Amino acid sequence: MGKGYNVTGVFMRNWDSLDEKGVCSTEKDCEDAYRVCQSLDVPFHQVSYVKEYWHEVFSNLLKEYERGRTPNPDILCNKHIKFNHFHKYAIDTLGADAMATGHYARTSQEDDEVFEQAHTAPPTTLFRDRFEIRNPVKLYKGADLLKDQTFFLSQIPQQALRQTMFPLAGLTKEFVKKIAAEAGFHHVLKKKESMGICFIGERNFENFILEYLEPKPGNFVSIEDGTVMGTHKGWFTLTLGQRARIGGQRDAWFVVDKDIVTGDVFVAPTTNHPALFRDTVRTERFHWVTEDPPPELARTQMMDCHFRFIHQMPLVPCTVTLNMDGSVWILLSQPVRALTPGQFAVLYKGDECLGSGKITQLGPSEFTLQKGRERMVAAFQHKEQSTPEPDS
């Protein structure tokens, strides 16, 4: 690294998977990592968290699908595996002072400060000593805003962040590729961008999930008039906002809601139907990267900031309300399409990623509000018509 650090490379595997041809892509990745370490003359280790991944990430993912939600395995993998099991392995087993990952993100610590920290044992008492002055480490967007990965890091523990360096913080993807080319790592440069869920690979999602969950057939129902439009294999094969494949329909229909009691999946006839737009979400207990909610939110229970629930979506201005149980209500400045329970609401204040909370509840859709207004108007008109004229 040219910064005077002693570096050790570690390859982490989380999933035993074979692609269609029976070839394990993890083997190829591991081989690539080993070759890089060899040419840099850096020690190389590998660790397997297949068991932990299955119990702490994947089984949780299946449970969420069964509840009608759409989980985010990448956020959960960073929270439970990379910045928990792997972090402990790096610090405790390898005796490292810090771990470095290839995320495009920054922290409030300079790299040198990561090493200068005195290693204090976690407090044994329930409350941290009020006099123990420790400025929490903040998480900031990386310089390459297009590749910024703070979204995926929004659930990681403060203790792990304190001991993490992001060498790519100030670099763009293009520049990183240039460095790799100059170092002669052409075998790595040829790799495709991996965007999908790592363990599914090229497979179709419906086929993949049906390997793990029993099919639960149900009806596609029109949100507009309750007509049964067709059938599906299980609500968990579908997510809000996606196009529903309904036999015999010329027009495109989109998933707008699910009823996991009846198995009905509600659909609407256009991609931007008002039933897909909402401006309020509630999360479960919110995870603040710095451990405590921002001072202004703690003081007044309200705060203005920005929101996203998908990795690269544009940030939306919002107002956050802190509830007694640590959960938050988020009111968006404009209705957003396909807000989805199970996904994470990630909050930003300027360049700082404040943390995230899993979305558990949605406010009413524009369609519901519109129907409510129409009913009120109709009732009002009906009342006016039925009021007898007073005798003159």
Q: Which of 24, 30, 37, 198 is catalytic?
A: 198
CA distance 28 to 31: 5
Q: Is 150 within 8 Å of 74 (Cβ atoms)?
A: no
State whether the Cα torsion 76-332-281-257 is positive or negative: negative
Q: Is 74 within 8 Å of 61 (Cβ atoms)?
A: no
Q: Residue 149 has which token pair?
A: 């990965």
Q: Is 105 within 8 Å of 142 (Cβ atoms)?
A: yes
* Backbone dihedral angles phi then psi of residue 388, each to the nearest 5 degrees: -70, 145
Examine the residue annotation and report whether 30 is marked as an active-site residue of this protein: no
Examine the residue annotation and report whether 37 is marked as an active-site residue of this protein: no
Contact partners, residue 71, CB within 8 Å, separation at least 6: 60, 61, 64, 65, 342, 343
* Backbone dihedral angles phi then psi of residue 161, each to the nearest 5 degrees: -60, -35
Q: Is 177 within 8 Å of 190 (Cβ atoms)?
A: no
Q: Which of 24, 37, 77, 305 is catalytic?
A: 77
Report the DSSP pairing between strands 164-165 and 328-337.
unpaired
> Would you name the residues annotated as active-site residues?
77, 198
